Amino acid sequence: MTNQKEMERYSVITEKNPREIVLLRGSGCRWRRCTFCDYHLDYSRDEKENYHLNRRELAKVTGRYHCLEAINSGSFCDLDERTMTLIEETCLKRDIRQLHFECHWIHRAEIPAVRRRFADRGITVKIKSGIETFDYNFRENILRKGIDEADPARICAPFDEICLLFGLTGQTAASMRRDIETGLALNERVCINIMTENTTAVRPDRDVIAVFARELYPLYIDDPRVDILMENTDFGVGGEQIPAREL
Ligand code: SF4
């Protein structure tokens, strides 16, 4: 993508599972059909430019928590090989022992190899996947997520952590709670994203968000296995960079 605004791409998450996080850039999500998503627009076909951007961001990693989340508006397999090598080198140099990547269901067959690759260097890989909801009809016919499997256990089997998407018309307190409990039963961690306005036609439903805030947020906000992002920039990456003079 060209002409994109400079985004914050490095941040530190100090609460729950403390970790550093980098938003890298790859060749682009290969699914790209989710109706609610526009962050797949953060990509470039120019491998060299991606590598330079990724090198700049990875240079900020200090290893303070020995844990790094490397995301890229797609799946780890969209990153170029030089970037993958640099991630590996950064982990070794900064004593990072746990590395989190994102991966879409369609690339699940590539997960064992990436786990082995990093395990050989003493680094444990955790894979997060956007499942959004376990309601097959809602997920596939409305959100067009591209997960051709209905069984939650089979869906979660390749992954360690999942993302859920709430704040959409049709969701209820009961349906959201069911999704969270299913996610927690089948995964180490669950990340809840609340829908925010973006360039797609899918709009956040203020009433559903109010229901979530009132009935579910208090139940899970202190759960160390649950991240809740009321805004999709709550992890500190993906937002617009504030020029130094405005600080
Ligand atoms: S798989 Fe992820 S990046 Fe790709 S379109 Fe869907 S939500 Fe966006």
Question: Ligand 1 atom closest to Cα of 36?
Answer: 7
Average pLDDT over residues 129-148: 98
- Taking Cα atoms as reference points, which of 41, 76, 11 lies closest to residue 198? 41
- Beta carbons of 38 and 199 less than 8 angstroms apart: yes
Domain ranges of the chain: 10-232
Question: Ligand 1 atom closest to Cα of 74?
Answer: 3
Cα 124 to Cα 113: distance, rounded to the nearest angstrom: 12
Q: Give the largest CA-CA distance in the chain.
A: 52
Computed over its alpha carbons, how large is the radius of gyration of the chain?
A: 17
* Nearest-CA residue for atom 2 of ligand 1: 74
Cα 191 to Cα 141: distance, rounded to the nearest angstrom: 22
Cα 230 to Cα 191: distance, rounded to the nearest angstrom: 11
Cα 171 to Cα 178: distance, rounded to the nearest angstrom: 11
Is 10-232 a domain of CATH 3.20.20.70?
yes
| pLDDT tops 50 at residue 86 | yes
Beta bridge partners of 165: 193
Question: What rounded mean pLDDT belongs to the chain?
Answer: 93
Best residue among 40, 73, 107, 199 to mutate for probing ligand 1's pocket (most ligand atoms within 8 Å of CB) is 40
Beta bridge partners of 99: 68, 125
| pLDDT tops 70 at residue 167 | yes
Per residue in 15-68, pLDDT (tens digit) is: 999 999 999 999 999 999 999 999 888 999 999 999 999 999 999 999 999 999
Best residue among 30, 31, 164 to mutate for probing ligand 1's pocket (most ligand atoms within 8 Å of CB) is 31
List all residues whose CB is within 6 A of at least one atom of ligand 1.
29, 31-32, 34, 37, 39-40, 73-74, 104, 130
User: What band does 241 get if pLDDT is binned at 50, 70 and 90?
Assistant: low
| pLDDT tops 60 at residue 93 | yes
